[in-house]
Amino acid sequence: MTSHDIRRNLATEQYLLNQRTFDEPLILFYIQKPCVIVGRNQNVRAEVDLSYANEHQITVTRRLSGGGAVYDDLGNLSFSFVVNADHESFGDFKLFTQPIIDALHKLGATGAQISGRNDLLIDGKKFSGNAMYTKNKKMYSHGTLMLNVDLDEVSRVLTVSEKKLASKGTKSVRSRVTNLKPYLAKEYQGISTEAFRDYLLLHLFNAETMESIQTQEYHLTLEDEQAIDQLVADIYGNDAWIFGEEPNYTIKREEKFKGGLIEANISVEKGRIIAITIYGDYFSQKDTKELSDLLVGCNYEQEAIEQALADITIGQYFNNVSKTEFIQLLVD
């Protein structure tokens, strides 16, 4: 995609997922100006230094998929695979990232590997984070590739939970991320983000020239462009979506599970839950607001919460988190 605005790029991705039907999977690559993209379930004010972002004209937006916040600039290449949804493939990031890893090995970054639930690492450091979103029997899996990102900006604008850092065995954001460029073979050390994108496209399509790939491109129509503009206005550029509205809370609970970090902010009055907001970098197939709605009005005690959630399949809301773990987070 030619846009360098993350809001428009995410809107384009969403539009193609929801409004267009294709015979084959879509592959999107995009490069954007400095920005922070927070996961669907995260608390923006807890993840981003908003004063710094505003001062340095770093765009802040929220995506539809779960996972954690990422910083992008023109040294980063983002990718997205849009496919027909398969329930079994939700959370299977290897299915989509292994072809990327194979291409990086050919570029000389032979130490690149898939690690944990959704990260790509090299030399023990992260250069790619990935997330998924599914709706109406379609799904996208998208991620970042830090080729030559300003790493100092990453630590300046992102404010990551201490529990999350502790789970990674590191003391700062800056110490656990890296660029790919130093690991590439000598002949690729000067590669631009655009040339890096083209190399990956040739590898993924098993093609010799970009001209042969261009015959398979989809070109947005005027109608498409107008619909995408509306999505930017309604969602990705809309403060109501990005920041939301938060009541005052009396209890804050936070824990790092196998499936990700979950933070629950709970307001209790006369022994009943009157408001609850759930944040985190977890992945979900269903909106966790549904759980919040079920719990409002419930007595703030384990038995009452267990009854309220009795018919819920918790894995659809928190991938790789059990119902017992979630309930204990709320009340222990």
pLDDT > 90: what percent of the chain?
A: 60
CA distances from 184 to 106, 129, 174, 188 (A): 9, 19, 20, 6
What band does 170 get if pLDDT is binned at 50, 70 and 90? very low
pLDDT digits (tens, 9 = 90+) for 264-279: 999 998 888 999 999 9
pLDDT surpasses 90 at 232? yes
Q: Are 95 and 40 in contact (CB under 8 A)?
A: no
Of residues 213 and 162, the one with the higher pLDDT is: 213
pLDDT confidence bin for 161, thresholds 50/70/90: low
Q: Above 70 in pLDDT, residue 41?
A: yes
Evaluate if residue 125 carries a pLDDT over 80: yes
Burial class (CB in 10 A: 0-12, 13-18, 19+), 220: middle
Task: Say what the pLDDT of residue 166 is.
Answer: 45
Confidence of residue 229 (pLDDT cuts 50, 70, 90): very high
pTM over 0.85: no
Residue-level pLDDT at 55: 94
Q: What is the pLDDT of residue 91?
A: 61
3-state secondary structure at position 14: helix
Cα dist. 81→156, 222, 293, 309 in Å?
A: 30, 23, 32, 34
**Residue 220 per-residue DSSP state:** P
Give the list of residues 6+ apart from residue 331 with CB closer than 8 angstroms, or none. Answer: 300, 301, 302, 305
- Which residue is listed with tokens 């050919």? 106
Domains of the chain: 6-243 (3.30.930.10), 251-331 (3.30.390.50)
Work out the pLDDT band at 96, boundaries 50, 70, 90. confident
In the predicted model, what is the mean pLDDT of residues 219-224?
Answer: 92
Mean pLDDT, rounded, for 155-180: 65
Asked whether the predicted pLDDT for residue 165 surpasses 70, the reply is no
